[in-house]
Amino acid sequence: MSNVEQTLSIIKPDAVERKLENEIKEIFKSKGFKIIKDKKIQIEKAEAEKFYKVHETKPFYNDLCTYLSSGPIVVMILEKENAVVGNRELMGATNPKDAKDGTIRKKYGISIDKNSVHGSDSIDNAKIEIGFFFKD
Ligand code: CMP
Residue 77's closest CA among 26, 31, 124, 28? 28
Helix H or strand E segment including 118: strand 117-119
- Asked about 118 being catalytic, the answer comes back as yes
d(Cα 13, Cα 62) in Å, to the nearest integer?
Answer: 16
**Residue 9, beta-bridge partner list:** 76, 119
Q: Single out the catalytic residue among 12, 25, 105, 118.
A: 118
Instruction: Tell me the H-state helices in the chain.
Output: 13-17, 21-30, 45-51, 61-68, 83-91, 104-108, 123-133
> For 14-28, what is each residue's pLDDT tens digit?
999 999 999 999 999
- 72 within 8 A of 55, measured Cβ to Cβ: no
Q: Is 119 buried (19+), middle (13-18) or exposed (0-12) by CB count in 10 A?
A: buried
pLDDT per residue as tens digits for the range 41-72 = 999 999 999 999 999 999 999 999 999 999 99
Contact 90, 76 (CB under 8 A): no
Q: Which residue out of 10, 60, 110 has the highest number of ligand 1 atoms within 8 Å of its CB and is therefore the one to mutate?
A: 60
Confidence of residue 135 (pLDDT cuts 50, 70, 90): confident
Give dist(CA 54, CA 52) in Å, integer.
5
Domains contained in the chain, CATH given: 4-133 (3.30.70.141)
- Does ligand 1 have an atom closer than 6 angstroms to the CB of 94? yes
Beta strand 117-119 with 34-41 is: unpaired
Supply the pLDDT for residue 2: 87
pTM of the model: 0.97
